[in-house]
Structure 1
């Protein structure tokens, strides 16, 4: 998993896997989901990150690190 922030577009991208993207679904103006050929989410994209997330409360709790 890779989490990237792009300051020039105020976008947060959470890449869950490196599988190729087969389809994209715009959930809202600021939330986009990309899927692989099996229909599983590959990337979660959040536009206008600074307006949508209260970063002062940002925490990662109990996230397991799994072997590849």
Structure 2
């Protein structure tokens, strides 16, 4: 999983897997979900992040770290 913030566009990109995106669903003007060929979510994009995410309360919560 990779989480990136792009300050020039105020975009938060959450990549859940490295599988190719085959379809994209704009949920709202600021929320986009990408899917793989099996219909599983592979990425989430939040535009206008500073208006949509309370970054002061952003906390990682017991995320499992997988070893390769």
Structures share fold, TM-score greater than 0.5: yes
- Number of residue-to-residue matches in the alignment: 68
**Cα drift, residue 67 of structure 1:** 2.7
> Which segments of 5 or more consecutive residues in structure 2 lack a partner in the other structure?
none
Q: Which residue in 1 is equivalent to 2:28? A: 28
Q: Does 1:61 align with 2:56?
A: no
The TM-score, its normalising length taken from structure 2, stands at: 0.95
The runs of at least 4 aligned residues of structure 1 exceeding 3 Å deviation read: none
- The C-alpha deviation readout for 1:4-44, integer Å capped at 9, x for no partner, is 01111100000000110000000001000000000001110
Backbone CA RMSD of aligned residues: 0.8
> Which segments of 5 or more consecutive residues in structure 1 lack a partner in the other structure?
none
1:38 and 1:11 map into 2 onto residues whose CA distance is 26
The TM-score, its normalising length taken from structure 1, stands at: 0.95
